[in-house]
Amino acid sequence: MRLLLVEDDNLLASGLAAALRQSGYAVDWASRGDQADRWLSSEDYDLVLLDLGLPGLDGAEVLCRLRNRKTPTPVLVLSARETIDERVRTLDLGADDYLVKPVELAELEARIRVLLRRGRADTGPTIELGALQLDTVGRRVYMNGEPQDFSSREWQVLNILVSRVGRIVSKDQMLQSLFGWEEGVTLNAIEKAISRLRAKLETGGVNIRTVRGLGYMLEKPGKPDVRDD
């Protein structure tokens, strides 16, 4: 999962980015509104954490431009502006949630999880795919109820595949989602993680298909139909 953090307070931003990376998110950090606007026009993010008072371009304007481009990426506003009017105005501009600074990390992460799972059909914190269960809060993987040993890279790759189950994920998309999470992620590392994942998942009848020249697809267990959203 790749997040864009837009925050001009360096100390706060580096603390948040470090904590979120620790939790397994890939985090890009923009310290200016105009920079965030450029990145949001060209890059794919799963979620945006947006400050309002920013140099270059105000956070509200960044949000307006994003929504004018019809980009549905969830936006969680983090702001010190705590009046009801400000919150209402920001939500009406197309923000999905609003947290007043200072934010508690545990609450921020819980709200991030809520927004990230909104796009999925199953909305609970546990994702089930055949014999496979992912506990997205505890970051644990179970197969037929048995806890499995997954490295943090395997967890990341599995999460990307699961969030797009039944759809093809290109190696480039995978690299993008992992970028920032760890220095020097290469295609080769992704291929290795995929082959380890395959071995672990096949006992539960969960298949990662290689679509030659295009990428990978986690097949929906027992459902051959391909989701097209």
CB 157 within 8 A of CB 203: no
With CB under 5 A as the rule, give the number of residues binding Ca ion: 3
CA distance 14 to 7: 9
CB of 101 to Ca ion, least distance (A): 9
Query: Is residue 96 part of the contact set for Ca ion (CB under 5 A)?
Result: no
CB 1 within 8 A of CB 47: yes
The nearer residue to Ca ion, 27 or 78, going by C-beta atoms, is 78
Tell me the backbone φ, ψ of residue 27, rounded to 5 degrees. -125, 125
Residues 6+ apart with CB under 8 A from 183: none
Smallest separation (angstroms) from Ca ion to the CB of 7? 7
CB of 220 to Ca ion, least distance (A): 43
Please tell me whether residue 191 binds Ca ion under the rule CB under 5 A.
Answer: no
Strands 215-218 and 168-169: antiparallel
Q: Of 204, 172, 203, 195, which Cα lies nearest the Cα of 185? A: 172
The smaller minimum CB distance to Ca ion, of residues 39 and 142, is found at: 39
* Least distance from Ca ion to the Cβ atom of residue 189, Å: 36
Q: Which is nearer to Ca ion, 54 or 112 (CB)?
A: 54
With a CB cutoff of 8 Å and minimum separation 6, the contacts of 207 are 201, 218, 219, 221
The residue (of 37 and 51) whose beta carbon lies closer to Ca ion is: 51
Which residue, 79 or 163, is less far from Ca ion as judged by CB? 79
Instruction: State the burial class of residue 85 (Cβ atoms within 10 Å of its Cβ: 0-12, 13-18, 19+).
Output: exposed
Residue nearest Ca ion by beta-carbon distance: 53
Site string for Ca ion, 50-69 (x = CB under 5 A): -x-x----------------
Least separation in angstroms between residue 4's CB and Ca ion is 15
Residue 109 sits in the site that holds Ca ion (CB under 5 A): no
Which residue stretch of 2-10, 30-38, 103-111, 126-134 sits at the interface with Ca ion (rule: CB under 5 A)? 2-10
Smallest separation (angstroms) from Ca ion to the CB of 68: 22
Q: Please, which residue, 46 or 51, has the CB nearer to Ca ion?
A: 51
- Residue 70's alpha-carbon distances to 18, 40, 42, 108, in angstroms, are 30, 12, 13, 25
Which listed range, 48-56, 94-102, 146-154, 184-192, lies at the site for Ca ion (CB under 5 A)?
Answer: 48-56
CA distances from 16 to 23, 39, 56, 156 (A): 11, 19, 21, 19
Of 13 and 185, which has the nearer Cβ to Ca ion?
13
Q: Which residues bind Ca ion (CB under 5 A)?
A: 8, 51, 53
